[in-house]
Structure 1
Amino acid sequence: MSINDHRLVQCNEKDEETLLIFKKGINDSYNGKISTWSTKKDCCAWEGVSCDNITGRVTELDLKQHFLEGEMNMSILKLEFLSYLDLSFNEFDVIRIPSIQDNITHTSNLLYLDLSFNSYVSSLSLAWLSAHSSLKYLNLSGIDLHKETNLLQAVNTLPSLLELHLSECNLNNFITNPFMEYLNLSSLLTLDLSKNNFSSQLPNQFFNQTKDLTYLDLSWNNIHGSIPHSWKNMKYLDYINLWSNKLSGEALVHLSGWKQLRIMNLGENEFSGTIPINMSQILKVVILRANQFEGNIPTQIFNLSYLFHLDLADNKLSGSIPKSVYNLTQMIKFTMNDRTMAVVELFTKGQEYEVQQIETNRQTIDLSANYLSGEVPSELFHLVQLQTLNLSRNNLIGTIPKIIGGMKNLESLDLSNNKLCGEIPQSMSLLNFLEYLNISYNNFNGKIPTGTQLQSFNASSYIGNPKLCGAPLENCNIKEQNPKTPTTSMKNEDGDSIRESLYLGMGVGFAAGFWGICGSLFLIRKWRHAYFRFVDGVGDKLNVTLMVKLNRFH
C-alpha cells in the first residue's frame, strides 16, 4: 500500500497513462498486485507507486521481488519526475528499449536504477543510459552483458555515478578492455565487479581513477598476479573484498595507508607474508582465510575495539596465541546490533554460509588449521559476547579453563585435533546456546560432565579421546565412577601386601618340608632303607586285611 493513500492532489494523467503502458507487458499471476492497477483508483495509491504530495507526479516505482514476468518496458522512464526505479529480483525475460520515436525528450531526474537479478534476461543494450546522466546508483547485476561492446562508454556518460554494481554479468574482458584507460570513475564510491570470471591481472590505471572506490568488490573471479602499487594511494578505502581469486604477493604491506578501512576480505587467495601490527584501528571484519600468511599473530589485532569478526584460518601462522588484555570491546560488552551490507563467507557450526550483510552480534574468532602452539590463553575465554570460536587443527596444549562457562552466548565451539588435556570443566554444561561442539582427537580424560547440553551431542563430538568416558560415549567403569580415597587405597595396598607375604610363606614352607623329607631319604641310606621297609610293611598289612574281608564275605 502506498504512503500516498490519503493525498489530496490526484495522480497526473500523463503519468497514469505511462504506468498502464508498462503494465500491459507484465504477467503477475503469482501475487496479482500489479493487476490491481486500475483507473478506478488514484494511481498514486497503486502498488509500489509513490508521488510528490504537492504536484501529484510519480517520483518512485518500487516493484522489487514481486515475481513479475514478461516484458520490462523501459518506456517507464518517460515519467518526467521519476527519481527512483527498482525492478530487481523479478522474472522478466525481455527488456524492451523504447524506439527512436519514443525517445525521452525531457531532462532525466533518475537518481536510482536497479534492474538486477531478473533471472531470465539474457542480454541488454545500454546505449539509452546516456540520457540519464544524473544517475548516482546503477545496479545491473545478474544480467548477461558479455555482448555489450559499449559498456565502458555507457558508464563513462554517467559523471555523477557513485555506486556501480555489475556482479555476475559475465564481464570476463571488462578490465582488459582498451577503453579502460579513458574511463572516468573519479566520483565512484562503490564498485562491485564480483563473480565475473575475470582471468587477468589488475590494471594500474583502473585504480588510479578511483582513489576516493570506498567500496571495492572483485570477489569470485580468477584474477591473478599481485596488488598494484597504486593501491597504496587508496587512503579512503572502507571496504575491500577480493575473496576467491588467485592473487599472490605480500598484500598486507598496503594496509599501513588504509586508515579508513573497516571491512577487509582477502580470503581464498595465495597471499603471503606476515600480518602487520599497524592496521586500521577501526577494522570491524578481518578475513585472511586460506592463504599463505605466516609468522606470529600480532598482539595488536586483539586490541581493535571495533573488531567482531576475525578469520585467520587455514594459513601457516605459528607461535602461540597472544596473552594480553584483549580490548575487543564488541566481544566483551553488549552493544546495539549494527548491520553492514557486505557479502562474506561465514564459517560456523561446522558449515559455510554466504551472508549478504554482516551483523555486529555475530562475533567470530577462527584460528583453525594453522601451526599454533602453546596453551590457550585464559583471556580468550573472557570474550563473553563471542558466538563462534574455532581453534581446531593446531598444536595447542593445556586444559580448558573453568571460566568458559561464562561465555553464555557461545553457539559454536571447535577445539578438535589439538593436544589439549585434562577434564572437561563442569561449567561447560552451562552453555545453553551451544548448538555445535567438537572436542574430538585430543587427550581429554575423565567423565563428560552431566547435563542436557553436553549429552545432546553425538559421540562424534568426543571421539579420539581414549580416556574420556560417559554419555554419549561408553559408560565409565566402576573404578572411574567411584575413585578410591587415599585411606582406602592405603588399606587395600596393605591387604595386598599381607596376602602376598602369606602366599609366599606357604610356598616356601611347603618347598622346605618337601625337600627336607625327600632330600633326607635321597641322601641318607639307612633312612631310605627304613622308609622302604615301612612302606612294604604297610602294604603287606593292607593286603592281609583285604583278603580276610573277602573270605568273610564269601
Structure 2
Amino acid sequence: MASQLHKTLLCATSLLLLLLLPRALLVKASLGSQGRALLHWKATLRSPQSLRSWNLNSSPCNWTGVTCNYPVAGRGRSVVTEISLPRMGLAGPLDALDFSALGSLLRLNLSYNQLGGAIPPTISALSRLVSLDFTSNQFRSKIPVGIGSMKELRFLSLSQNQMVGAIPPSLSNLTVLVSLHLEDNKLVGVIPKELGRLHELMYLDIGVNRLSGSIPSNLGNLTKLYHLDLYQNQLIGVIPRELKNLVNLVYLSIADNNLTG
C-alpha cells in the first residue's frame, strides 16, 4: 500500500515537473531567442560598430540601447522591453529582424539613423508596443496596415522618411494613440475620415506630404487636439466648420494647400 502510494506520488511529481519544465525552459530561452534575433539583424547592418557590445559573451540586458524588465510585476525571468538606438549611425534594412521573438517590447526607438527599405508587415507582432519611433530614416514603403492592430500604441512617428501610398484607415484602431507623426514623407490620397475616431489624440502632424481631397469634418471629433499640422499638401475645399470644436487647439497650420472659401 505504502509502496503504491509512493509510486503514485512519484508519478504525480514527475508529471508536474514535466508540465513546469517546458514553461521554465521557455521563459529561460526567451531572452536567449531575443538576443539571437537581435544579433541576426545586427549581421545585416552595414555600420554596426556602435553595437560592439552586442555579442554572445554577455546578456542582451547589458547591450547598448537594450533594456530588460520582468514581464509581470517583478515575476518570472527578465525579457527585453525596450530598444532605444537613436543617432547610432545604423544603416540597412529591417526585414531581417524577427519581430515575433520580441513580443515583450514596450518601446522601440530607431530614430535618426539610415535604416531603409520597407517597414516589414511583421512589425505588427509587437502587440504590446506603447511607443514606436522611426523618425528620420530612409524607409521607402507603404505604412503597414497591420500597425493598426498594435492597439497599445500611444506614440507613433514615421516622420521624415520617404513613405509612400495612402494613410491606412486601420490606424483608427489605435484608440489610445496620443501622438501621431507622419509629416515629411511622400504620402498620397485623402486624409482618412476614420482618424476622427482617435479621441485620445493630442498631436497630429501629417504636413509636407502629397495628400489631396478635403479636410475631413470628422477631425472635429478630436477634441483633445492641441497641435494640428496639415501644412504643404494638396488639400482642396473649405475649412470644415467642425474644427471649431477643437477647443484645446494651440497650434494649427493649414498653409500651402489649395483651400478655398
Q: TM-score, normalised by structure 2?
A: 0.71
Cα deviations by residue, 1:158-182 (Å, 9 ceiling, x for unpaired): xxxxxxxxxxxxxxxxxxxxxxxxx
How far apart are 1:421 and its partner, in Å? 0.8
Number of the residue aligned with 2:137:
291
1:258 aligns with 2:73: no
Please give the secondary structure, in 1, of the residue aligned with 2:90.
Answer: strand
Which residue of 379, 400, 414 corresponds with 2:194? 379
Runs of 4+ in 1 over 3 A off after TM superposition: 202-207, 209-212
Aligned length in residues:
202
Work out the CA distance in 1 between the residues paired with 2:215 and 2:57: 52
Q: 1:442 to 1:295 in 2, by over 3 A?
A: same
- The answer on whether the counterparts of 2:54 and 2:60 sit within 8 Å (CA) in structure 1 is no
- The answer on whether the counterparts of 1:211 and 1:236 sit within 8 Å (CA) in structure 2 is no
Work out the CA distance in 2 between the residues paired with 1:275 and 1:407: 28
Which residue of 215, 219, 223 corresponds with 1:400? 215
Which residue of 207, 210, 229 corresponds with 2:55? 207
- The answer on whether the counterparts of 1:417 and 1:439 sit within 8 Å (CA) in structure 2 is yes
Work out the CA distance in 2 between the residues paired with 1:373 and 1:329: 23
Which residue of 102, 106, 116 corresponds with 1:272? 116
Matches within 5 A, 1:383-532: 383-446=198-261
Q: 1:386 to 1:210 in 2, by over 3 A?
A: farther
What is the RMSD of the two structures over their aligned residues, measured on CA atoms?
A: 2.4
Work out the CA distance in 2 between the residues paired with 1:206 and 1:282: 24
AA aligned to 1:430 is N
- Is there any run of 5+ residues in structure 2 with no aligned partner, and where? 1-31, 33-46, 67-77
Work out the CA distance in 1 between the residues paired with 2:197 and 2:238: 20
- The answer on whether the counterparts of 1:321 and 1:374 sit within 8 Å (CA) in structure 2 is yes
Identical aligned pairs, as a percentage? 32
Please give the secondary structure, in 1, of the residue aligned with 2:122.
Answer: coil
- The answer on whether the counterparts of 1:214 and 1:237 sit within 8 Å (CA) in structure 2 is no
Number of the residue aligned with 1:521:
none
Q: 1:292 to 1:211 in 2, by over 3 A?
A: same
Which residue of 170, 173, 196 corresponds with 1:324? 170
1:240 aligns with 2:83: yes
- The answer on whether the counterparts of 1:397 and 1:419 sit within 8 Å (CA) in structure 2 is yes
How far apart are 1:417 and its partner, in Å? 0.3
Work out the CA distance in 1 between the residues paired with 2:184 and 2:253: 14
Q: 1:307 to 1:325 in 2, by over 3 A?
A: closer
Number of the residue aligned with 1:217:
65
Please give the secondary structure, in 2, of the residue aligned with 1:295.
Answer: coil
- Is there any run of 5+ residues in structure 1 with no aligned partner, and where? 1-185, 187-198, 219-234, 332-362, 447-554
The structure whose Rg is larger is 1
Work out the CA distance in 2 between the residues paired with 1:422 and 1:203: 50
Q: 1:422 to 1:258 in 2, by over 3 A?
A: same
- The answer on whether the counterparts of 1:215 and 1:238 sit within 8 Å (CA) in structure 2 is no
- The answer on whether the counterparts of 1:214 and 1:236 sit within 8 Å (CA) in structure 2 is no
Matches within 5 A, 1:79-90: none
Q: 1:410 to 1:205 in 2, by over 3 A?
A: closer
Matches within 5 A, 1:35-50: none
- The answer on whether the counterparts of 2:193 and 2:217 sit within 8 Å (CA) in structure 1 is no
Please give the secondary structure, in 2, of the residue aligned with 1:370.
Answer: coil
Number of the residue aligned with 1:281:
127
Matches within 5 A, 1:333-344: none
Q: 1:406 to 1:207 in 2, by over 3 A?
A: same
How far apart are 1:203 and its partner, in Å? 5.3
Q: TM-score, normalised by structure 1?
A: 0.35
